[in-house]
Amino acid sequence: MRLFVVLAALLAGGCRNQDGEIAYLGSKTTSTVTGLKVAPSEAGARALAGIRQFGWELARAARLGTGNSNGVVAPAGTTQALALMANAADGPTRDRLLEMLRVTPGSLETYNEAQASLLTALAQNKEVTIANSAWCVWPLPVRPEFQEDVAPAYWAKVTNLGSAGRESLSQINTWCDKQTRGRIPRLFESLDTRTAMVFSHAIAATLGGVETTTGRFQSATGEARLPMVSLTHEFQTADLDGTRIARVRAGAIQTTFVIPREGKTLQVALDDLASGLIERSEAAFVSKSGRLRFPAFRSDTEANLVPSLARLPGGETIQSADLRYLSHELEDRLPIAVHQRIVLELGAPGHGTEPGPTPKPSGNEFLVNRPFLLLVDCSYRDRQIPLIIAAVHNPR
């Protein structure tokens, strides 16, 4: 039987319950859909601690920072897509996925509860939009245990579409647009019928501000005058051997700008961060009340992450997967894809006051005027869970 399934992991403010209504977990400690415990716990925080190292490995595998092209990955969301696959998988596929996620074989249930808790925390923040859903384009008898025990942990609803044609694509994108309140109007540009299953993550993240000026931005291809956004806020800064860092918090969401010193590439700066540069240098950060100025920037990207994941240990095995726990009728390994859609917006280009002359720098101003790394994290039990890692060579 020919099968085509799309399993979409979207981060949004809520999920649909079994009656098709939006169910928000809010501050509850138990999901009304499943009875799953979602209260933050130290065990859960430890279970998610591996996402940060996975994020650095994913960024390297996706070759972020190389060349002169912008690039972005969503570590937490990618782990959610892979964890959904791990819960559906059996045999070596499951073993390799757990290894990639740094989950011991007996602790997947704890990991599921921790991810549910993380989704609950994210739902409280307007800067980030997230959701989970499962689309069966071709009929697939899904095990009740997967629908009842696993899918709700990731706020996922399994839906049979019936085909991979234009109507199915339109239905998926209409759903995505509604679930994300218009922030992500399209999940897929097309559906590849040669792929049996697509585990997909989408996330929209915004750092607000008021567009006030034009400013100079020096990229590898030359200097350009760009709209610049001003954000007056309390923030922390550090100068670590010429690498300038600023981070600002809104609720549980922390956004960090990293500008490498002159002569250092974004790829090398990314390696520095992966080696623990910020963690080793916490004492160097100084809190200030002032102004952050950065380019107005919006990116909307999608990618199949399987080629990048194949560069990680064990990642080559997930291009075709044994997903027998998902369905009793699956006997053969199925070709799959791991899809991401990321909408990232700094400021609001075209909105706010008209651009004016470039102001003189103030004592408490942090100016982003060269290629930079951008990190978007969520605070969870005193840990920073990476939602987005981006390398921006040219914000135009």
The model's pLDDT over 22-64, given as tens digits with 9 standing for 90+, comes to 232 222 333 333 344 445 567 777 888 899 999 999 999 999 9
Out of 14-23, 76-85, 138-147, 359-368, the most confident range is 76-85
Give me the pLDDT at residue 275, please. 94
Give me the pLDDT at residue 334, please. 76
Residues 173-223 have pLDDT tens digits of: 888 888 888 999 998 898 777 777 778 888 999 888 776 788 999 988 889
Query: In the 8-state DSSP scheme, what is residue 355?
Result: P
- The reply to whether domains 5-207+298-345 and 210-296+351-392 share a CATH topology is no
| Between 335 and 236, residue with greater pLDDT | 236
Asked whether the beta carbons of 194 and 143 are under 8 A apart, the reply is: no
Residue 392: beta bridge partners? 372
CA distance 33 to 353: 46
| Between 385 and 38, residue with greater pLDDT | 385
Pairing of strands 365-367, 286-295: parallel
| Between 22 and 225, residue with greater pLDDT | 225
| Between 283 and 5, residue with greater pLDDT | 283
List the one residue out of 81, 68, 9 whose CA is nearest residue 308: 81
Whole-structure pTM value: 0.86
pLDDT confidence band for 287 (50 / 70 / 90): very high
| Between 159 and 321, residue with greater pLDDT | 321
The residue behind tokens 């069966």 is: 136
Superfamily of domain 210-296+351-392: Alpha-1-antitrypsin, domain 1 (2.30.39.10)
Q: In the structure encoding, which two tokens stand for residue 353, read together?
A: 């006051």
Query: What's the N-to-C CA distance of the chain in angstroms?
Result: 47
Q: In the structure encoding, which two tokens stand for residue 285, read together?
A: 């950060």
User: For 5-207+298-345, which CATH class?
Assistant: alpha beta
Lowest-confidence segment of 205-219, 224-238, 265-279 by average pLDDT: 205-219
pLDDT confidence band for 383 (50 / 70 / 90): confident
CA distance 303 to 183: 18
Give me the pLDDT at residue 363, please. 63
Give me the pLDDT at residue 11, please. 40
Give me the pLDDT at residue 211, please. 66
Sequence ranges of the domains in the chain: 5-207+298-345, 210-296+351-392
